[in-house]
Amino acid sequence: MKSIPSNSFISPTTTLCSAAATETQRNNALQSVKNLFKRASLVRKDRKTNLKLCAKTIVQERIIKYTQESQASRSRCMLELQPPGYVSQAFGPPVKLLGSGTDGYVNLHVDPAGVKFAIKSFFCPKKRFTSLNECYEALDSEIRMSVMFNHPNIVRVYRMIYEANGYIYIVMEYCDQDLFSLISNLDSSPAERIELANYMFYQLVQAVSYLHNNAFVVHRDIKLDNICVTKDHTLKLVDFGCSVSYDPLRPFGRYGLTGSDPYIAPEIFLLANSIYDPRCTDVWAIGIVYLAMLSSRFPWEIAKVSDKNFNLFLSQKHKLLQYWVQHDPVARSLISDILSVDPSKRPNISAIKSHPFFINLHSRYSNTNDP
């Protein structure tokens, strides 16, 4: 392997633990660690509101209560340093574009052994970031969240690589399609569609339960496009670029707008600049995903009174739910609770798992996909 010049970026974890590292490299690595902690201590308390697009996702927020210290330093230590061209050599060149957003894009790669990978690429240009630390901070959520999960319904991340040419790569398991494509192209009987919707709903609840109750993370961009499906119909929740972590022992809330219009909970619009609990908005999005799977359409374009379909929902909720969820009154009662306009009346993810509809699904599917 080509040697890395001593003035290049030094990975603290790689260099400090390497017996082959030179004294200069060790000193540079130690200085990198010191700089990271120094930078973390100098972060401004009053950051300007950030406006960011995650594909078609709107993100405009301000952190209210809880942030983890030295997040950028943790992200930095998760990356392995490699020379330019390493990813294409190890995993094959890009074969197909799978998706793109403002921060990067996802390509299909096939390695020499024929194994498929989905690799997300970010670029940290000098004209945009004055240092690698700033790049890590900007991509921190995507990087840090991507490697901390261990659940069958959350996409698996194999490696995270920084190439010296400025690219960061997240190497993930490959899934055949996203749920939006699956539902859009589905040609099946109503009974088969209901069965698929129920199975996807069951797995999605399991994934979000793991996030909220075990990882203490809120996704904040749950949608059909961010749910991938394997050939055996195993659901994989992906894209944690808009996610946030929280301390379950401290108050937690957010300001601002995050998500994709049809999935955004009404309190985000109604409360304007007030604090809301994003765990409740994740739950709302689960309900929208279920309705979309049943009918291949969204119940409304946006959850505002200016939207005629949402306005009709506000006045005739029971009637519309009878039409949307005809197959099972028990399922209808849960979706009705999930789509409570008042977030304080909306069940949390644990309450959803205690509902008779989910208990029935668990008895049917638990052996198929045991979390």
Catalytic residue (choose from 103, 140, 221, 282): 221
Integer angstrom CA distances of residue 266 from 5, 25, 221: 53, 53, 15
Show the beta-strand stretches assigned E in 201-322. 217-218, 227-229, 235-237, 244-245, 254-259
How many CA atoms, within 13 angstroms, populate the side-chain half-sphere of residue 238? 30
Show the beta-strand stretches assigned E in 36-75. 50-54, 57-63
User: Whole-angstrom Cα distance, residue 207 to residue 219?
Assistant: 10
Show the beta-strand stretches assigned E in 87-166. 94-100, 104-110, 116-123, 157-163
User: Whole-angstrom Cα distance, residue 300 to residue 8?
Assistant: 52
Question: What residues have CB less than 8 Å from 44, skipping those under 6 apart?
Answer: none
Q: Catalytic annotation on 221? A: yes
The letter for the amino acid at 286 is: I
Nearest to 118 by CA among 169, 70, 179: 169
Q: 276 has which bridge partners?
A: 254
Active-site annotation, residues: 221
